[in-house]
């Protein structure tokens, strides 16, 4: 029993020592904060006594909304629409169609020498034929349809 009490008292002493240590560190940190606050207070008093601060206080009649608009957008941009398009994808369709065709044929260029059934109707190799006969004409038709719509809208 005495051993248990002795152990508990030692643990209590250790806890108290740790608490004293923490409070000492907290005290020194608060002293540093107090010194910094005194510096800030001195700086604010010096600023308040300056002429520039007094001039700023005298500018009560300024339009805060106009200043905020200017600060938000200091440069004005005049834009002129050359080709009006309803959405970005419509104008980019010809580019992406050609890009897709180019990538497709680059990939197929390496397949043709290894695949003699390239243009056959074999279901495993018919995708190039389907592309050439169905998808490519549809893409070309869509391109010219969009071109005609844009030229009619320009008139």
Percent of the chain clearing pLDDT 90 (strictly above): 4
Question: What band does 50 get if pLDDT is binned at 50, 70 and 90?
Answer: confident
- DSSP letter (8 states) at residue 125: T
pLDDT in tens, 88-139: 666 677 777 777 878 777 777 666 656 555 555 555 555 565 566 666 777 7
User: Measured over all CA atoms, what is the biggest interatomic distance in the chain, rounded to whole angstroms?
Assistant: 106
What's the confidence (pLDDT) of residue 100? Answer: 81
Judged against a pLDDT cut of 80, whether residue 52 lies above it is answered with: no
pLDDT in tens, 1-17: 778 888 888 888 888 88
d(CA 61, CA 38): 34
């Amino acid at each position: 029993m005495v051993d248990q009490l002795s152990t508990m008292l030692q643990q209590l002493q250790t806890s108290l020592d740790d608490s004293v240590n923490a409070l000492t560190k907290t005290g020194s940190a608060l002293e540093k904060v107090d010194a910094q606050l005194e510096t800030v207070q001195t700086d604010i008093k010096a600023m308040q006594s300056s002429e520039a601060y007094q001039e700023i206080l005298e500018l009560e009649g300024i339009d805060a909304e106009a200043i905020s608009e200017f600060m938000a957008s200091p440069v004005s941009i005049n834009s002129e629409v050359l080709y009006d398009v309803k959405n970005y994808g419509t104008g980019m369709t010809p580019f992406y169609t050609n890009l897709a065709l180019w990538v497709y044929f680059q990939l197929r260029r390496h397949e043709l020498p290894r695949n003699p059934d390239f243009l056959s109707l074999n279901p495993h190799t018919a995708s190039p034929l389907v592309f050439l006969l169905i998808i490519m004409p549809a893409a070309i038709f869509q391109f010219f349809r969009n071109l005609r719509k844009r030229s009619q809208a320009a008139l």
